[in-house]
Amino acid sequence: MRWLLLIGTLLSLVLSFTRHSGGAMGLWLLLAIVGAFATTLAFAQARISASSRMETLSEYDLQRLREGKTPFRH
């Protein structure tokens, strides 16, 4: 989905510079700005979810980590 947002943002940016009327150029430029914001958030969300833990550890596993041992699930 984030790649489609990036392609759509780039397409709207190209279309904003190829329009001859001010209204069409402003509309495509507005869509490019909104698309750039959405694309940035989509890539940030993908990066955050790739490096986060999928599930939380139990109290026993946390205690083992505090003692310097590895948890049982890993």
What's the pLDDT tens digit per position in 50-61? 887 667 778 888
State the average pLDDT over residues 64-72.
81
Cβ neighbours of residue 19 under 8 Å, at least 6 residues apart? 25, 28
Contacts 24+ apart (CB under 8 A), 3-9: 5/35, 5/38, 5/39, 5/42, 6/39, 8/35, 9/35, 9/36, 9/38, 9/39
pLDDT of residue 31: 96
Let me know: does 16 contact 57? Beta carbons within 8 Å: no
Q: Write the pLDDT tens digit of every residue in 11-49.
A: 999 999 999 999 999 999 999 999 999 999 999 999 998
The one-letter code for the residue type at 57 is L
Write down the pTM of the prediction.
0.67
Query: Is the separation of the CB atoms in 42 and 61 below 8 Å?
Result: no
pLDDT at residue 69 in the model: 81
pLDDT at residue 54 in the model = 67
